Structure 1
Amino acid sequence: MAGKISEQTKELILPILDQLDIELVDLEYVKEGKNWFLRVFIDSPKGVDLDMCTAVSERLSEALDEDDPIKEAYFLEVSSAGAERPLKTNEDLKKAVQKQVHITTYEPIEGNKQFEGKLIHADEHAVTLAIKNKTRVEEITLPVEKIASARLAIIF
């Protein structure tokens, strides 16, 4: 049920976001305790502020009321994807080239399941990271099908 609602909501929100030049990063419909939450995570080349979240929330709320794909009561939350936003698709990975990323794999590769470094290449088959190892930089290539999760990383 949650997957179907997510897909219906995605169909409603994409035209709204296109008009506002905003990217849909993620969308989830989840139950926490007794309550259902529809969470929409957005990003924009200009950044995301409260006014932008409010505008998306208002327009999406109207579209959801009109189309009514969700029968039970729920809370709508629209927010920025954040500085450590998830990278869920190949397109997300390609856009993150030259940025710092954190990648977790399903199984160990060269003895590790977690990798953090500069993403230097991404395509449909693999990603290549430049990882600092003490005083030198090493490159490692990870097959896309082995990636469990990926996100942008903040380096302090």
Structure 2
Amino acid sequence: MSTTQSERLRELLEPLVASQGLDLEEIAVDSVGRKRVLRVVVDSDTGADLDRIADVSRALSAKLDETDAMGDAEYTLEVGTPGAERSLTEHRHFVRATDRLVRFQLHEGGELVARILGVDDDGLDLEVPGVKGRKATTRRIAFGEIDKARVQVEFNRKDDGGAKAPKPSESTEHDTQHDPEHDTENNSVNTTEEEEA
């Protein structure tokens, strides 16, 4: 997707997503054979259940149909959440990942796997798990030290001290077919899992 199209779609869709109480995290247009897929990733501090995703999906589909942002060719709109192993790139992402185990790639080289204990404007307070019977230690890192960060899935955490369970990515799809002569469309809302079944 070109930068211009990406920026145009973001400008068009971000206010609508925000009006639904969600953050627009990502937009991507991919070609699958002759068909195009517009993927929109949304989230909020409290998450987004399937009903909220379906609501925003319908609103986005209606908005896209009012414009020529996707052109006249057929496309599928998929709206979902970031999923369990999300990348952390914004301050709000780190806040939402509090109590979660995260793998950090640091600018100075090296990798760190630690649990986020707290987040402020400058950086993170972390708990680094102990190895070979050693106790966990705390560490402070600044945002400027972080090159990449990704949440890790934990299947058998022993100390479940109120940590958030990983939530699977949820999504809905709208199939939108455009006929330039008749300007008709066929929209349907289905979960991705039902589409694949």
Check whether TM > 0.5: yes
C-alpha RMSD of the superposition: 2.8
The C-alpha deviation readout for 1:18-43, integer Å capped at 9, x for no partner, is 33222323222344565543211122
Quote the Cα distance in structure 2 between the aligned partners of 1:144 and 1:73: 42
Is contact 1:12-1:60 (8 Å) kept?
no
Say yes or no: does 1:89 pair with 2:90: yes
1:85 aligned partner, one-letter code: R
Which structure 2 residues correspond to residues 39-54 of structure 1 after superposition, within 5 A? 39-45=39-45, 47-54=47-54
After the TM superposition, which parts of structure 1 deviate over 4 Å for at least 4 consecutive aligned residues?
Answer: 31-35
Alpha-carbon distance change, 44 to 127 in structure 1, aligned in 2, over 3 angstroms: closer
What is the number of equivalent residue pairs in this alignment?
Answer: 152
The C-alpha deviation readout for 1:70-111, integer Å capped at 9, x for no partner, is 335533211122223322212322343343322223552xxx
Quote the Cα distance in structure 2 between the aligned partners of 1:141 and 1:46: 26
Question: Matched residue of 1:4: which SS?
Answer: helix
Which structure 2 residues correspond to residues 2-151 of structure 1 after superposition, within 5 A? 2-31=2-31, 35-45=35-45, 47-71=47-71, 73-108=74-109, 112-113=110-111, 115-123=112-120, 125-134=122-131, 135-151=134-150
Question: Is the helix fraction higher in 1 or 2?
Answer: 1
Instruction: State the percentage of identical aligned residues.
Output: 28
Quote the Cα distance in structure 2 between the aligned partners of 1:94 and 1:45: 8
Question: Is the strand fraction higher in 1 or 2?
Answer: 1
Is contact 2:18-2:24 (8 Å) kept?
no
Question: Matched residue of 1:133: which SS?
Answer: coil
> What's the offset of the Cα at 1:8?
1.7
Relative to the length of structure 1, the TM-score reads: 0.75
Question: Matched residue of 1:21: which SS?
Answer: coil
